[in-house]
Amino acid sequence: MDTFIFLGVVGIYTLMTLFDAYAKRLNHQARYRPLPPVVADVYDEAAYQRWLSYSGERERLSNIQSLLSFVLILVLLIGGGFRWLAEWSLQTAPEGVDTLLFFGVLALFSMVLSMPFRYYRTFSIEERYGFNRSTRRTFFTDRLKGAVLVMLLGGVLLGLLVFAHATFGAFFFLAAFAGVMVVLLFINLFYVRLILPLFNRLEPLEEGTLKNRIEALAAAEDYEIAAISVMDASRRSSKLNAFFSGFSRFRRVVLFDTLLERFDEDEVLAVVAHEVGHAKHRDARRNLFFSAVSLLLLLVLLYAFVESDALYDAFGLEEAHFGFALLVFSLVARPIPLLLDLAGNAFTRRMEYRADAFAAARVDADTMVRVLKRLARENYSHLTPHPLYVMLHYSHPPIKDRIAALQGESA
C-alpha cells in the first residue's frame, strides 16, 4: 500500500506535468496558423515576425524553467529531500510553527531559483523588444518587497490553515474556509489602497473631459466609483492595461499611464465601459462565489489527505506533518484544480463577451474593436491560440473571438 501511494503521487505529478507541456506545445505550434480575417490587420508583416520571435523566446525560457522545476521537485520527492526538510522543521520549531518554517524555506529556495529567469526575462527579452522600462534597482526592490509580502500574507493564510487543523478537528475545512475568505476579501477590498502603493505611485486622474466622461458613464449606469487613479506602470513596462478593484463604495478604477499615453479618450472610455459592464452584471460577485465553492471543495479534500497516516508512511515520515501533507496534496491533486479551472475559465469567458457587448452599446462597436486590436498589438497577444490551451488557461476569450462576436461574424 505504501509503495502504491508513493508511486501514485509521483505518477500523477509526472502525468500532469507532461499534459501541461503537451498543451504548451500545441499552443506554440498554433502560432503559425493563418490569421483569421477579423485580426489580419493587427500586425503588419514586420511586426508579426517580431511577435513570433518574441513569443518564441519567452516560451523557450518558460519551458526551461518548468523543466528545471519539474526535475527538482521530482528529485526532492523521490530522493527524500522534502521528507528531510519536514523532519528538520519538526525538530527545530514548535508544533504549528514547523509548517511555517517548512514553507518558508521552500519559498526562499523557490525565489532564489526563479530570480535568474525573472532577470533574464526582464533585462534581455523584454528589454530587446522594447517593453522593459524597469531599472535594476527597481527590479531588485520589487523582488524584495514581493518576497516580504508573500511571506506575510502567505504566512497569515498558512497560519490560519494550521490553526484550524489543530483547533477544529473534523470541522477544519469550515474554519479554514471562513478564515481564508476573510483574508481574501480584505485583500480584494484594500488592494489598491494598501498593497499596490508599495510598488507603484497612484495619482488621481486629472480634471478634464476624460474624467468627466468616465464619471458621466458611471452615473448613467448608477455605478459608484470611490476613486479614479493613474498608475505609473511606465516605470516598469510599456504594456497597456486598466483594472477595477473592490466592491460597492470601495470600487476604484486604476488606469495605466501607458494606456493614457497611447489611447484617445474614446478608447479609454471603451476600456472603462467594459469594466463597468462587469460590475453591472455582478461578475466580481459571481467569481467570488465560484472561488469560494472551489476553495471549500479543496479544503474538504485536503483534510482527508492530511489525516491519512498511510501518506506519511509512504514517504518515510514517522509522524504527521501538516506542511508536508499540504505540499504533496498540491502535487497530487492537480487534476482537481484543472477541472475547476476548465469550468471557471469557461464561466469568465462568457462574462467577457457580455462586458464587451455592454461597452459596445455605451460607446460603439467600432471603437471597442479598435481597442481590442490595439491592445493585442501593443501587448503582443497570441492571435491564434490552440483551443485546448484556451480551455485550460484563458480567462478571456481570444481577441479574434471577441472581435467576431462584436461584429456578428465567425472567427
| CB contact at 8 A, 215 and 192 | no
| CB contact at 8 A, 58 and 122 | no
Q: Are residues 126 and 59 in the same domain?
A: yes
The string of pLDDT tens digits covering residues 329-374 is: 999 988 998 999 899 999 999 999 999 999 998 888 999 999 999 9
Residue 33 lies in a domain: yes
Residue 174 lies in a domain: no
Q: Which residue has the higher pLDDT, 391 or 4?
A: 391
pLDDT number for residue 28: 93
Q: Are residues 109 and 13 in the same domain?
A: yes
Distance CA 125, CA 54 (A): 7
Q: What is the span of the domain harbouring residue 221? A: 202-262
Instruction: Assess whether pLDDT exceeds 90 at residue 44.
Output: no
| CB contact at 8 A, 303 and 311 | no
Residue 396 lies in a domain: no
Q: Is 261 exposed, middle or buried (0-12, 13-18, 19+ CB in 10 A)?
A: exposed
Q: Is 98 exposed, middle or buried (0-12, 13-18, 19+ CB in 10 A)?
A: buried
The string of pLDDT tens digits covering residues 136-194 is: 999 999 999 998 998 898 899 999 999 998 898 888 889 999 999 998 888 888 888 88
Instruction: Assess whether pLDDT exceeds 80 at residue 247.
Output: no
Rounded to 10 deg, the angle between the 81-92 and 45-79 helix axes is 60
Q: Are residues 8 and 88 in the same domain?
A: yes
pLDDT band at 410 (very low <50, low <70, confident <90, very high): low
The predicted model gives 199-207 an average pLDDT of: 88
Rg (CA), the chain: 23
Which CATH number is 257's domain given?
3.30.2010.10
Q: Compute the CA torsion angle 411, 241, 21, 74 (nearest 10 deg).
A: -160
Q: Are residues 113 and 59 in the same domain?
A: yes
Residue 220 lies in a domain: yes
pLDDT band at 248 (very low <50, low <70, confident <90, very high): low
Instruction: Assess whether pLDDT exceeds 90 at residue 402.
Output: yes
The string of pLDDT tens digits covering residues 263-289 is: 889 998 998 899 888 878 888 788 888
Distance CA 344, CA 407 (A): 26
Q: Are residues 98 and 46 in the same domain?
A: yes
Distance CA 385, CA 24 (A): 10
Distance CA 59, CA 266 (A): 34
Q: Are residues 258 and 287 in the same domain?
A: no
**Mean pLDDT across the chain:** 89
| Percentage of the chain modeled with pLDDT above 70 | 98
Q: Are residues 25 and 106 in the same domain?
A: yes
Distance CA 402, CA 396 (A): 9
Q: Are residues 225 and 290 in the same domain?
A: no
Rounded to 10 deg, the angle between the 172-190 and 136-168 helix axes is 150
Residue 124 lies in a domain: yes
Residue 273 lies in a domain: no
| Percentage of the chain modeled with pLDDT above 90 | 47
Residue 312 lies in a domain: yes
The string of pLDDT tens digits covering residues 92-123 is: 988 889 999 999 999 999 999 999 999 999 99
Q: Are residues 11 and 116 in the same domain?
A: yes
Residue 344 lies in a domain: no
Q: Are residues 109 and 42 in the same domain?
A: yes
Boundary residue ending a domain (295, 310, 333): 333
Cell readout for 3 is: 509503495
Instruction: Assess whether pLDDT exceeds 80 at residue 41.
Output: yes
Q: Are residues 99 and 35 in the same domain?
A: yes
Lookup result for grid cell 462597436: 365
Number of structural domains (the chain) is 2
Q: Are residues 240 and 325 in the same domain?
A: no
pLDDT number for residue 120: 95
